Amino acid sequence: MPPIKLSSSLRMAVAALHKGLRKQASYTSSYSMTELETIGFISRNNDILASELASLTRITTQSMSQILKKFESQGLIARTGSPDDKRKMHISLTPAGEKLVKQNRYERDAYLHKRIETLLTDKEIALLEKVVPILDKLAAAD
């Protein structure tokens, strides 16, 4: 397969898989993709700054402020002042935020597990195990 066709096929397969995963989370209808991405970044980077979140999600600090206000009003995040700079606020998940992230991960993992178990042969599963590190490498390149 020519490299450009491989790229296109991979993009379409990943997009379709992503769409299926997104449908699995019970709460996704109340959150935008950027909001879901934001809560994931907070989960992986405890005590992160709002400006760092804005940069990671490629949105303005004003837009990030709106997202964080929403999360805070829902009890998903907590803000704590920086001991070094009183103007900076560190963002972390509350227990409710952690529960939301864990539930989302569980639902998506269960969806994938079922699809792998019912649709793939043992040989395909073994091949998929070898492909995951390659996909991780592609994803980490940015």
Token pair of 116, please?
Answer: 């792998």
Q: What is the pLDDT of residue 39?
A: 93
Quote the pTM value. Answer: 0.77
Residue 63's domain comprises 32-93
* Number of separate domains in the chain: 2
For the cut 90, the answer to whether the pLDDT of residue 70 exceeds it is yes
Instruction: Tell whether 26 and 36 lie within a shared domain.
Output: no
- The answer to which of 19-23, 100-104, 115-119, 128-132 has the lowest mean pLDDT is 19-23
Cα 7–Cα 12–Cα 13 angle in degrees, nearest 5: 100
Could you tell me where the DSSP H helices lie in 3-94? 3-24, 33-44, 50-57, 61-73
Strand 77-81 to 89-93 pairing: antiparallel
Domain co-membership, 79 together with 103: no
Res 128: pLDDT: 96
Residues 37 and 8 both lie in one domain: no
Tens of pLDDT along 10-56? 999 999 998 888 777 666 668 888 998 899 999 999 889 999 999 99
